Amino acid sequence: MKVGVPNSFCYAGMENFFIRVIPEVLEDSQIIFSGKTTKEMVEYGLKNSCDELCIPAKIFIGHVEYLIRKKNVDVLFIPRLVSILPGTYSCPKIIGIPDVVKANYFGIEFVIPEINLRNNRKIKLINTQLYNFLTPKIADTKNILVLAHSYVIFDEFLNKGVLETLKNAGYNPIYPTCYYLDSYYIFSDLPKELFWSSARDIYYYFEWTVNNTQVDGVVYLMTFGCGIDSILQELIMRRCNKMGLPYLCLTVDEHCADVGIQTRIEAYLDMIEWRSSRDEKNYLPAHG
Amino acid sequence: MKEEFFLGIDIGSVSTNVVLIDINGEVIESMYFRTQGKPIEILQKSLCTLYEKYGDSLKIKGVGTTGSGRHLASLVVGADIVKNEITAHAKAAIFFVPDVRTVIEIGGQDSKIILIKDKIVIDFAMNTICAAGTGSFLDRQAERLNIPIENFGPIAINSKNPVRIAGRCAVFAESDMIHKQQLGHPCEDILFGLCLALARNYLTNLAKGKKLESPILFQGGVAANIAMKKAFEQLLGVQIIVPKYYNVMGAIGIALLAKESTKGLITKFKGFENLHKCRFETKGFECHDCSNFCEIVCFYSNGNLVARWGDKCQKYSSNRNHHIENSKNL
């Protein structure tokens, strides 16, 4: 039995988890991952999803379509990630995505187990077992903090080569890796904890890095149509302005040309270099 | 003329600008052409014009390219520096007005805001996908009303009672304009209403949350429109400076950057002679080696393949990267 696993969106980085879990649930199964996002998948996704969805969710639907059309899978394994961190919820689009897919495809079997840790305060480490991402190495200088959901950071189509560009320019990009952050929570000085787990992930990592490491600048990769990003971006922008950190917000969507992104990144790095050639602490942004 | 000169080339979506500056940064020659979708031809033509005018006495010590066609232009002329247009515009603005705090730049298809403090860029923003409020849109509307774009500003500035037009979206702005014109509003009121709408759109989209300090510089092709200047002044309540070379500021900036970067180095400029003779060609194809279907562009000079780009996997483009790395190392 061929079991298809679309490993994009919130399921990116969960490969080890799937390899561990699926044989326990489904006997005689052969796991097929959809792999890296390609232009073909993006086109499938755009064609088959409604326009209110965010870009990562649309691309996820592209991955599903690819598995069904090109890989002829018998079963789709899409867990419902209601809550993957005690005390929080996942984004509603993440919770609902199995249903979106199920309502669209017939003649194929779905296995949708539920993962809900909302009230389970005992299990703390399950998150690190869900996701396996390579954590970035923090260098002594020239760190650029790239903030985005993990499924954007690790998707070469969605990140538009921003990480590569930063590396080629001699900077060290660092970024949050999913739900690894229990120990960072104490650093937050927000009056109220953030509700969504991915928002916590990003915000606490931001707080921790700017307070504990040498960060030259912050780049926020916002995905088009993401509700969490729209709030978090503003929050982080205000913090950056207060601290005088160079900040850049890039919105990524289904555009395949990356020239606009490249121009902004280049100008941004020029700005950082220009500033660091002087004593930057005295040159706070004019607004804020 | 046996002095040393620096060349700045700005290839944008709508215009191609070439500027010649001397060692002190004085502008010797500035040229403004419409790109008309043929950047290479226009660039060759403009450089030939320059050569015919000054001949062999023109000693180029450095060349820089900027604008959306900067990589292409750098391959054609052999540039010493390839920089983005934001840095170039900021450079030129600081050169002409050292205490400048804000730069409003509106070009053919994009608009930018650059905030500067103590001669350093501290923040910038560029318009996203929407082109409402840029030169192309003004061009189109002028054409629709059958008004030459040069007369747009002088007509609009006479307006006593500008109409309210929604400037959030170019398409809706147009339907709003048509509605106002069918109600019988005079032309100048509609035109100035449009200018106000575009300035409002610019301020809400780009300047969102940023504090615009004086002195404010207004540059780019749209700065030619005096009504746009007036609209910004009305909305911001301060004087706005339009520099003398407003339409070629990007090219001046990159020429200044070329001057700085080639200090003590030999230029990579291919020379006017060679340029004149060279035949440049681009061919494109879609690669089907994987499901990304990248569109590859091949660049030929006199029939020889010089560079290729557009691929995600770098299979074809290693050649081109090599070239750009070289120019960066300078």
Per-residue pLDDT tens digits for A20-45: 888 888 888 899 999 888 888 988 89
Mean pLDDT of A98-103: 90
Measure B202 CA to nearest chain A CA, in Å. 17
Measure B87 CA to nearest chain A CA, in Å. 6
Place of tokens 């940064």: B25
Question: Are the C-beta atoms of B9 and B243 separated by less than 8 Å?
Answer: no
In whole angstroms, what separates CA A93 from the centre of its chain?
13
Measured between beta carbons, the chain B residues lying within 8 angstroms of A233 are none
Place of tokens 């017939």: A106
For B84, the closest of A267, A274, A278 (CB atoms) is A267
Residue A16 has pLDDT above 50, yes or no: yes
The H or E element spanning position B180 is: helix B170-183
**From the candidates B86, B102, B134, B208, which should be mutated to test the interface with A, based on the most A CB atoms within 10 A?**
B86
Mean pLDDT (chain A) is: 83
Query: In chain B, which among 140-169 make CB contacts under 8 A with chain A?
Result: none
**From the candidates B74, B87, B206, B295, which should be mutated to test the interface with A, based on the most A CB atoms within 10 A?**
B87
Q: What tens digit of pLDDT does each residue of A66-86 get?
A: 999 888 898 999 999 888 877
Please enumerate residues of A whose Cβ is less than 8 A from a Cβ of B. Answer: 38-41, 156, 237, 246-247, 251, 253, 255, 259-260, 263-264, 266-268, 270-271, 274-275, 278, 283-287
DSSP β-bridge partners for residue B305: B300
**Sites in chain B below the pLDDT cut of 50:** 1, 320-330
Assess B122–A contact: CB distance below 8 Å, yes or no.
yes
The H or E element spanning position A2 is: strand A2-5
Cβ-defined contact of B291 to A40 (cutoff 8 Å): yes
Report d(CA A42, CA A64) in Å as an integer: 11
Q: What is the ipTM of this complex?
A: 0.79
Q: What is the pTM of this model?
A: 0.82
Cβ-defined contact of B292 to A39 (cutoff 8 Å): yes
Place of tokens 């949708």: A112
Nearest to B96 by CA among B200, B223, B4: B223
Residue A280 has pLDDT above 70, yes or no: no
Of these ranges, A20-29, A44-53, A144-153, the one predicted with the greatest mean pLDDT is A144-153
Name the residue of chain B whose CA is nearest to A238's CA: B209
For A286, the closest of B83, B117, B126 (CB atoms) is B117
Assess B329–A contact: CB distance below 8 Å, yes or no.
no
Report d(CA B207, CA B230) in Å as an integer: 18
Percent above pLDDT 70 for chain B: 93
Percent above pLDDT 70 for chain A: 89
Q: How confident is the model at residue B330, as a pLDDT? A: 39
Assess B211–A contact: CB distance below 8 Å, yes or no.
yes
Task: Go through chain B and tell me how many residues it has.
Answer: 330
Name the 3-class secondary structure at A197.
Answer: helix
Taking every pair of Cα atoms in chain B, the longest distance, rounded to a whole number of angstroms, is 65
Name the residue of chain B whose CA is nearest to A266's CA: B84
Report d(CA A234, CA A226) in Å as an integer: 13
Mean pLDDT of A158-180: 85
Q: How confident is the model at residue A125, as a pLDDT? A: 47
For A38, the closest of B68, B124, B292 (CB atoms) is B292
Predicted confidence band of residue A188 (pLDDT cuts 50, 70, 90): low
Name the 3-class secondary structure at A30.
Answer: strand
Cβ-defined contact of B123 to A270 (cutoff 8 Å): no
For A259, the closest of B68, B123, B129 (CB atoms) is B68
Measured between beta carbons, the chain A residues lying within 8 angstroms of B128 are 251
